[in-house]
Structure 1
């Protein structure tokens, strides 16, 4: 048993997905208004003295990092892997786990109805 908290963040960026048929819309240069959800977890005895998994205010640093690294950028030039939503979620997770050891999952949405997730 464990507790989870999550918080959503937003950024806008372009990308192109190689390896698709030329007629596929994602093969062309295009952009998204991304939503990134961080999920942090703590065991039932792992809450801090206030009763938090982590103070939401501590995530302001992540928001600043996301804005400086990904917002209004071309992801093919930034992410060191093929910039699918699945790979972006893992890329963000790998960069966030050292700062947020409670990080349990990163979800990335490119559209209001689609999500990709990388989970511990």
Structure 2
């Protein structure tokens, strides 16, 4: 199996209002997010790719237009956790590229959430 991945970055604020008032994530705060999309295929296409990285620019545009420098509570219909964001980006990507196998989201250099069906 061949696997490729591409990383995307954006900055945004959010607030997990369902948490207790004393929880640090219940306060308004922001992160410099990293999104990594992974694609896999048993065979390469005629160009020798799983998929041309250039085709993934559509995800960059989506992130820039809808997520970058936004308040995620106003963007997502679910709590703006990294786990929910990983699932959101996975579903969005999978609608476009059948080779998508996972999406990871990082809020900090030491934390990652991944959605992989």
TM-score of the two chains, using structure 2 as the length reference: 0.96
Give the C-alpha shift of residue 65 in structure 1. Answer: 1.0
Taking only aligned residues, the RMSD between alpha carbons, in angstroms, comes to 0.9
Residues in 1 aligned to 2:109 and 2:38: alpha-carbon distance in whole angstroms: 18
Provide structure 2 residue ranges, at least 5 long, that are not aligned to the other structure: none
Asked if residue 6 in structure 1 is aligned to residue 19 in structure 2, the reply is: no
Partner residue in 1 for 2:69: 72
Give the C-alpha shift of residue 3 in structure 1. Answer: 1.1
Partner residue in 1 for 2:49: 52
Residues in 2 aligned to 1:62 and 1:101: alpha-carbon distance in whole angstroms: 14
Q: How does 1:1-120 map to 2 (within 5 A)?
A: 2-43=1-42, 46-120=43-117
After superposition, the C-alpha distances for 1:89-119 in whole angstroms (9 at most, x for unaligned) are 0011111111111111010000001000001
Runs (4+) of structure 1 exceeding 6 A deviation are: none
TM-score of the two chains, using structure 1 as the length reference: 0.93
Residues in 1 aligned to 2:62 and 2:10: alpha-carbon distance in whole angstroms: 11
Residues in 2 aligned to 1:31 and 1:101: alpha-carbon distance in whole angstroms: 32
Residues in 2 aligned to 1:19 and 1:68: alpha-carbon distance in whole angstroms: 27
Provide structure 1 residue ranges, at least 5 long, that are not aligned to the other structure: none
- Aligned residue pairs total 117
Residues in 1 aligned to 2:115 and 2:104: alpha-carbon distance in whole angstroms: 7
Residues in 1 aligned to 2:101 and 2:41: alpha-carbon distance in whole angstroms: 9
Residues in 2 aligned to 1:19 and 1:81: alpha-carbon distance in whole angstroms: 11
